[in-house]
Amino acid sequence: MKTPLKVGAGETAALLESQLATLREELICTPAAAATVELDQTTRGRLSRTDAMQQQAMAAGLAARLSTEIRKTEAALDRIADGS
């Protein structure tokens, strides 16, 4: 069994800050994939539009999960700052 790595509050905060920066970068990149799907039948086939709408929904779900993770990380950083 592995021995857990002991990390101080300062190191934990630094790791959480790094994770928070990464999550925010990922969230910034997500809206491009969640852009409005054009439904003009002359430019795209039915299956392509369906595929695009599915990708849009998946991107919206990813953005929601990233936002939740950002809130959790910020809450953890607040708890570290408060000493609790």
2: pLDDT strictly greater than 80: no
**Predicted confidence (pLDDT) per residue in 17-59, tens digit:** 999 999 999 888 876 666 666 666 666 677 787 888 888 889 8
10 vs 31, higher pLDDT: 10
11 vs 40, higher pLDDT: 11
Extents of the domains making up the chain: 45-84
Q: Secondary structure of the chain: what % helix, strand, coil (to 5)?
A: 75, 0, 25
The type of residue at 50 is T
Provide the pLDDT for residue 37: 64
Rounded CA-CA distance 29/49 in Å is 22
**Predicted model pTM:** 0.69
Provide the pLDDT for residue 83: 84
CB pairs under 8 A, 24+ apart, for 21-28? 23/66, 23/69, 23/70, 23/73, 24/70, 26/66, 27/63, 27/66, 27/67, 27/70
